[in-house]
Structure 1
Amino acid sequence: MTETITIPAGERGVLRLFALDMPAQQAKFLREPGAAAQVLGVETLEADQVEVFPVKDLDDLGLAGYLAEGYAIAPEQLDHDALAALTGWVLLLRSRAFGGQETHLDPDPALRLIGTYREAVTDWSAGPLEAGSAAPYSAPPPPPRALRRKARGVGFALFAVVMALIVALLAWWIA
């Protein structure tokens, strides 16, 4: 009997790899809508977050290479020998498949959990900017002539719009 796997609410960036101990035709069927959810013991899954494929399709890249390059799994998380020994079909399940909801997986005995891996995440934090040019209002003020030129341009545009409206109103009234 397999254990229940709890997926916490809001989980992100986690990939679970299952070996499929079943005939190829049955494994292929898991690509159909709702089939993967059924063998995982859940109501629904986002289908685009589930992959079912034979390991032999990865050719020279191998399963470890696919996880490292395709999913940004750090090489130190991967047991290369165990992954190289896998044959047959596998199921890759991303945590996004659950829509951020807490979920309890009760997988079919034909599914064997091989590993749970964390995708590399980008650290978007940064220290404070210390350059003088990063301070607010640090740019030199524009010269007075440029400000006057800009003000004249805005005034002329406003004048042109008002005159066009007056001409259009007179043309409408006369016609």
Structure 2
Amino acid sequence: MTNDLTIQAAETGRLRLFAINLDAKAVAELDNAEPEALGLMLGVDDLDPTYMELVRIEDLSELGLIGYLREGYDLGDDIVGADRTKLAALRGHVLIVLSLAFQGHAVTLPKRAELTLIATYTTHGPDWSEGMALSTPSAEPYSGPPVKKRPSDAAMSGRIATFALLFIFLFTAVFIWIAA
């Protein structure tokens, strides 16, 4: 990078693309290192590596970097179109950093010889401005399974009487069998 890059607090919806200016051996070590090493390469140690990606351009084969940004990050042709020649000329590895990697903190990325900021793109998030009214039967009140009713006292008395009669019958049958 030629100058320090300042990331505003609570920034969202940005994708930054960096070219990596390292030899193949150093990039291979970086690729095999812990995910936090990508943040250290940017000069910041508390970045979330979940939102950072090291990409080898040759691995993208026929899709290419432009196709990868379009398909993988939903960047339209209107967004990446202006940088088409610059993106097509890139070789080696690039680092993709999303705003979420900064975890809402204001961060200043120091100037580093091994990184070149290629572009910053605004990503499209879902449009929540128009709320959809959801209408489903399962969302209605009292639509769950019915509550199991407690048996009445009369039903319980009947069950107890039935078990008592069965016990008396068996007890009488055992006495008759022993007496015989």
TM-score normalised by the chain length of structure 2: 0.69
**Judging changes above 3 Å, is the alpha-carbon distance between structure 1 residues 162 and 84 closer, same or farther for their aligned structure 2 residues?**
same
- SS of residue matched to 2:11: coil
**Judging changes above 3 Å, is the alpha-carbon distance between structure 1 residues 163 and 87 closer, same or farther for their aligned structure 2 residues?**
same
Asked if the contact 1:27–1:52 (Cα under 8 Å) also holds between the matched residues in 2, the reply is: no
What is the one-letter code of the residue matched to 2:153?
Answer: M
Asked if the contact 1:24–1:89 (Cα under 8 Å) also holds between the matched residues in 2, the reply is: no
Structure-2 residue corresponding to 1:117? 121
Structure-2 residue corresponding to 1:85? 89
Are positions 1:163 and 2:153 aligned together?
A: yes
Structure-1 residue corresponding to 2:25? 25
The Cα offsets for residues 121-150 of structure 1, whole Å up to 9 and x where unpaired, read as: 222222898xxxx9xxxxxxxxxxxxxxxx
- SS of residue matched to 1:108: coil
Shift in Å, 1:161: 3.2
Q: Take 1:106 and 1:86, find their aligned partners in 2: how far apart are those partners?
A: 23
Structure-1 residue corresponding to 2:143? none
Shift in Å, 1:68: 0.8
Q: Take 2:26 and 2:20, find their aligned partners in 1: how far apart are those partners?
A: 9
- After TM superposition, the structure 1 = structure 2 runs for residues 1-175 of structure 1, keeping only pairs within 5 Å, are 2-31=2-31, 32-33=33-34, 34-78=36-80, 79-126=83-130, 158=149, 160-163=150-153
- SS of residue matched to 2:91: coil
Structure 1 gaps, min length 5:
135-152
Structure of greater Rg? 2
Shift in Å, 1:162: 4.3
TM-score normalised by the chain length of structure 1: 0.71
Q: CA RMSD in A?
A: 3.1
Aligned residues: 147
Shift in Å, 1:107: 4.3
What is the one-letter code of the residue matched to 2:8?
Answer: P
Shift in Å, 1:163: 2.7
Shift in Å, 1:166: 6.0
Q: Take 2:132 and 2:74, find their aligned partners in 1: how far apart are those partners?
A: 29
Shift in Å, 1:17: 0.4
The Cα offsets for residues 84-127 of structure 1, whole Å up to 9 and x where unpaired, read as: 10011111111111111111111421100000011112222228
